[in-house]
Amino acid sequence: MNLQQSGCGNDLPQDLVNLFSANKPVKICAPMVRYSKLAFRTLVRKYGCDLCYTPMIVAADFVKSAKARDSEFTTNKGDQPLVVQFAAKEAKVLADAALLVCPFAGGIDLNCGCPQRWAMSEGYGACLINKPELVSDMVRQVRNRVENPRFSVSIKIRIHADITKTVDLCQKAEAAGVSWIAVHGRLSEERHHPVHYDAVKVIKDSLSIPVVVNGDIKSLKEAKNIHQITGADGVMAARGLLANPAMFAGFEETPLACIHDWVDIALEHGTPFTCFHHHLIYMMERITSKQEKRVFNILSSTSAVLDYLNDAYRI
């Protein structure tokens, strides 16, 4: 595992569940394939993000391969509080993966919401919402094998068309010892449909553990409104943060200072050009004209991007 500063596991935060005890929603950066890596987590933490997830990591590969561990999980001392999200379908494998990361993170999350075909065909992601006994067993085994009682074990789910099935899944996971549940308020087959916030409220009202709401949160004002509608203890954003990493600090669009911070952080972390550039494309979507986008989006080197930002924005 690539730990960018020595000793990052020596001073982990208090029980992550304590984050949810304040009378305001916890602001969370969602797990995003390719995007919610260390450099981006470092950026959003500067702008009001309370908790970050890693991208989804396939637990079986992570356990078997040192190469996978080095490439998939990078952290440092400032990267806290942190949840490592795993795709898994076997309790022992998930617990093995949790043991590997527990010195360096505050908790792990089991992905029960990814709707991509490859994940579901492999038995990962959203297909797990139809296997409540397996999900409960995975939670229970992690709980039994990780000795640190402050280590969190959460799940991130999508909902069923019959919400009673989702409530049953969540209540069984709660009985197994899950710390909190993040709910993307869409069915597995829904992509850009409206989010079913009413379903999230039903789930929240059925549990005694914290519930996090996810789906279409694109501004701090929306986050507060959705918190009020659902009663959720946390608000989780993905695309909203990609477009505006300063969203949780109350900015309506990405401020130039945030773009400047991204350049500094990305260069410091050695972020590959494609990732560095893609993040900037997302961040600048609302503040650039069509003509500017055409020019910026085809830039092909870090130096070209830096020259453009300097010429256009004095960054």
SS3 75: strand
**What is the tens place of the pLDDT at every residue in 25-41?**
999 999 999 999 999 99
Round to whole Å and give the CA distance between 189 and 297: 31
Class of domain 2-248: alpha beta
Residue 11 has pLDDT above 80, yes or no: no
Round to whole Å and give the CA distance between 208 and 61: 34
Round to whole Å and give the CA distance between 97 and 66: 12
* Omega before 149 within 30 of 0, i.e. cis: no
Exposed (0-12), middle (13-18) or buried (19+): which is 259, by Cβ within 10 Å? buried
Average pLDDT, whole number, for the chain?
94
* pLDDT recorded at residue 245: 98
**What is the tens place of the pLDDT at every residue in 168-216?**
999 999 999 999 999 999 999 888 899 999 999 999 999 999 999 999 9
Q: Which amino acid is at 302?
A: T
**What is the tens place of the pLDDT at every residue in 275-304?**
999 999 999 999 999 999 999 999 999 999
Confidence of residue 101 (pLDDT cuts 50, 70, 90): very high
Q: Kind of pairing, strands 82-87 and 57-58? A: parallel
* pLDDT recorded at residue 1: 72
Residue 5 has pLDDT above 70, yes or no: no
Exposed (0-12), middle (13-18) or buried (19+): which is 112, by Cβ within 10 Å? buried
Residue labelled with tokens 């999980």 = 73
Q: Write the secondary structure of 195-258 as one string of H (helix), E (strand) and C (coil).
A: CCHHHHHHHHHHCCCCEEEECCCCCHHHHHHHHHHHCCCEEEECHHHHHCCCHHHCCCCCCHHH
* Omega before 81 within 30 of 0, i.e. cis: yes
Residue 10 has pLDDT above 60, yes or no: no
In DSSP terms, 57 is beta-bridged to 86
Q: Is residue 114 annotated as part of the catalytic site, yes or no? A: yes
* pLDDT recorded at residue 4: 55
**What is the tens place of the pLDDT at every residue in 42-59?**
999 999 999 999 999 999
Residue 3 has pLDDT above 80, yes or no: no
State the pTM of this model. Answer: 0.95
Round to whole Å and give the CA distance between 2 and 20: 29
Residue 237 has pLDDT above 50, yes or no: yes
Those residues with Cβ within 8 angstroms of residue 242's Cβ, 6 or more apart along the chain or in another chain = 32, 35, 279, 282, 283
Q: What is the DSSP letter of 246?
A: T
The catalytically annotated residue of 49, 114, 170, 258 is 114
* pLDDT recorded at residue 8: 44
